[in-house]
């Protein structure tokens, strides 16, 4: 496969990782770990992994003029992004949280055209709208509302998370084209750790580690290694090749994977609405990723 196909495959794998995250994170919080405490665990764990891996790779120096952009990317892509997402997910249901993320591709499309001067192709616009239709149907008619103590507030926070992620993709594109991913992602997570530390320290300190079952430890490990470390690294590798708009449309696959996983675990049920939604989502992703 050529590099573009590898990037598309990587983006699909990331969507699968995030799809599983919605259900796994709900197992961990808020019963065993509060949302901000879990974010601190994720960021601290991933930051440690990034720095450890970078020791064994060739050294690459970052220009001082790029650090303000890296700091901004750390805020929108790590701190604000994760704080709003996990807090929102603690209030809403896994599938509702997943489908609310679909606003990001539209925001990325608009921001890319304004800031990166990316040409608005009719095919991409049409694909994003079809995908949005599929996820909107899933939101209105096919979502699971179990375990959602304050769904409206939770959904709003997940929408803010989607907006933050859109800004992050735009910010990180020029840096990703200039450096190898590990060169700057370790700095993004270093600044991100400084941002989330004041918010997560109290909840992290309140964790009763002795009462946490073994399976929850494994799920927290998944959130650190897969959802954070691998997902961010693969996405940064993919954005070196793909446009932000193309990469962002893979968010449409997250509710599909989240639904499949929730159904397989008995936490949601399959119906005709979900099948139709999945069909529209895949058409939308196909149109956006298809070359002329």
CA 199 to chain centre: 20
pLDDT in tens, 76-125: 988 998 888 777 776 766 566 666 666 677 777 777 777 767 777 787 77
Rg value, the chain, Cα: 18
For residue 145, name the pLDDT band (cuts at 50, 70, 90): very low
Name the token pair of 241. Answer: 């090749």
Q: Are 82 and 141 in contact (CB under 8 A)?
A: no
Say how far apart CA 157 and CA 110 lie, in whole Å. 21
What is this structure's pTM?
0.77
Is the model's pLDDT at 164 over the cut of 60?
yes
Please choose, from the candidates 159, 174, 165, 162, the residue with its C-alpha nearest in 3D space to the C-alpha of residue 243.
174
Is the model's pLDDT at 144 over the cut of 50?
no
Is the model's pLDDT at 289 over the cut of 50?
yes
Is the model's pLDDT at 71 over the cut of 60?
yes
In order of 28, 32, 132, 173, the CA distances from 140 in angstroms are 27, 31, 12, 33
As a whole number, mean pLDDT of residues 70-78 equals: 92
Say how far apart CA 249 and CA 281 lie, in whole Å. 9
Is the model's pLDDT at 49 over the cut of 90?
yes
Max mean pLDDT among 80-94, 118-132, 194-208, 238-252 falls in 194-208
For residue 291, name the pLDDT band (cuts at 50, 70, 90): low
Percent helix, strand and coil across the chain, each rounded to 5? Answer: 80, 0, 20
Residue 97: its pLDDT value, please? 62
Residue 123: its pLDDT value, please? 77
Cβ contacts of 24 within 8 Å, gap of 6 or more? 219, 222, 223, 227
Where do runs of H (alpha helix) occur along 138-264? 151-178, 181-205, 214-222, 231-239, 244-248, 253-264
For residue 21, name the pLDDT band (cuts at 50, 70, 90): confident
Rounded to the nearest integer, the mean pLDDT of the chain is: 81
Better pLDDT: 75 or 101? 75
């Amino acid at each position: 496969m050529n590099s573009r196909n590898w990037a598309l495959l990587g983006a699909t794998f990331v969507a699968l990782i995030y799809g599983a995250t919605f259900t796994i994170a709900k197992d961990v919080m808020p019963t065993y770990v509060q949302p901000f405490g879990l974010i601190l665990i994720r960021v601290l764990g991933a930051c440690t992994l990034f720095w450890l891996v970078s020791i064994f790779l060739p050294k690459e120096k970052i220009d001082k003029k790029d650090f303000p952009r890296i700091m901004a990317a750390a805020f929108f892509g790590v701190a604000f992004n994760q704080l709003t997402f996990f807090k929102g997910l603690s209030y809403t249901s896994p599938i509702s949280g997943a489908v609310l993320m679909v606003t990001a591709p539209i925001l990325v499309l608009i921001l890319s055209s304004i800031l990166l001067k990316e040409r608005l192709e009719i095919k991409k616009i049409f694909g994003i709208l079809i995908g949005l239709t599929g996820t909107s149907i899933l939101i209105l008619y096919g979502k699971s509302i179990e375990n959602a103590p304050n769904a409206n507030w939770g959904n709003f926070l997940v929408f803010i998370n989607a907006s933050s992620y859109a800004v992050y993709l735009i910010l990180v594109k020029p840096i990703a084209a200039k450096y190898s991913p590990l060169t700057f992602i370790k700095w993004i997570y270093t600044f991100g750790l400084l941002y989330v530390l004041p918010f997560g320290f109290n909840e992290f300190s309140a964790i009763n580690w002795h009462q946490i079952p073994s399976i929850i430890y494994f799920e927290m490990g998944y959130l650190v290694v897969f959802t954070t470390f691998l997902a961010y690294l693969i996405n940064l590798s993919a954005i070196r090749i793909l446009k932000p708009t193309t990469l962002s449309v893979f968010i449409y696959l997250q509710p599909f994977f989240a639904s499949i996983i929730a159904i397989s675990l008995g936490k949601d049920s399959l119906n005709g609405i979900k099948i139709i939604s999945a069909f529209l989502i895949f058409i939308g992703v196909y149109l956006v990723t298809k070359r002329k």
